[in-house]
Amino acid sequence: LKRITTHILQEMKNKGEKIAMLTAYDYSMAKVVDEGGVDVILVGDSASMVMAGHETTLPITLDQMIYHASSVIRGTKRALVVVDLPFGSYQGNSKEALSSAIRVMKESGAHAVKLEGGAEVAESIERIVAAGIPVMGHLGLTPQSIYKFGTYTVRAKEEAEADKLKSDILRIQEAGCFSVVLEKIPAKLAQEVTASLIIPTIGIGAGQHCDGQVLVVNDMIGLTKGFTPRFLRQYLEMYDQINGAVQSYIKDVKSGSFPNEKEQY
Ligand code: KIV
Ligand code: NA
């Protein structure tokens, strides 16, 4: 089984073949997602919310991201594994960004890192790429800046912010990003920048014209019950299924029907 590379993703864009990406944070989920055939697995800092229960992505640490990433790596054979650099691990300066990226690569065995931002992180991208580490960008709604934005609403609806995004995306492509996530921006803007870029765009709430799509796996399988933004397509109702299974188990234990004669030694 051949491992997906950044070069294969570029060939996919060139051929018009869509890129499918999902998050994973642990060994078991990574294994089922990888064997399902996804092209890219993102160890997202969304782990801060869906794994650790924090309100935002800000609290998760580099050590915690490395723990999630090393678990995911052990569960994958085919997908390219990209790991988010968490808040506070790269914004200081480009040397700090490089040392964080090196720690992720060495300690987890991941294949690439992702970081949020445009021109302000271009120097960091250049330095990390120069060290031989592939970098994925992330523009539009960037959750590590949530307290600056104030809300999780659609970004770049106004011309000034759209123009800023267009110049940022060219800057990070020039800095050496192999791909970029576009989160929650108008479909028309995503279409325009996707056509203007050499590298593939991966959308989440960015419409049908991106070169690929990503979803948080817990959202996609319906585990994060009650989270139903317009961009989310839910493929399972895992919360309800697990909840039902738990109730059946409790009933069986309480009634004495589990374990039965065949389920004992
Ligand atoms: O952390 C994450 O899950 C992400 C994706 C939503 C792109 O950054
Ligand atoms: Na993220």
Give 156-200 pLDDT, tens digit per residue. Answer: 999 999 999 999 999 999 999 999 999 999 999 999 999 999 999
Examine the pLDDT at 125 and tell me if it is beyond 80. yes
Lookup: tokens for 53:
């229960």
| Confidence band for 79, pLDDT divided at 50, 70 and 90 | very high
Closest CA to 87 of 168, 142, 150: 142
Checking phi first, is residue 247 left (phi over 0); if not, alpha (psi -120 to 50) or beta? alpha
- Taking only the tens place, the pLDDT of each residue in 19-49 is 999 999 999 999 999 999 999 999 999 999 9
Q: Is residue 35 marked as binding? A: no
Angle of helix 94-108 relative to helix 62-74, nearest 10 degrees, comes to 30
The alpha carbon of 230 and the centre of ligand 1 are apart by a number of angstroms equal to: 16
Residue 46 Cβ inside 6 Å of ligand 1? The answer reads: yes
Active-site option among 11, 55, 174, 183: 183
The answer to whether residue 6 scores a pLDDT higher than 80 is yes
Consult the annotation and say whether 46 binds a ligand. yes
Fold of 6-234: TIM Barrel (3.20.20)
Reply yes or no on whether 183 is catalytic.
yes
For residue 181, the ligand 1 atom closest to its alpha carbon is 7
Work out which ligand 1 atom sits closest to the CA atom of 116: 8
pLDDT of res. 184: 98
Please give the distance, rounded to the nearest whole angstrom, from the Cα atom of residue 44 to the centre of ligand 2: 5
- Band the pLDDT of 12: cuts 50, 70, 90: very high
CB 84 less than 6 A from any atom of ligand 1: yes
Cα of 44 vs centre of ligand 1, distance in Å, is 5
Identify which ligand lies nearest to the alpha carbon of 50. 1
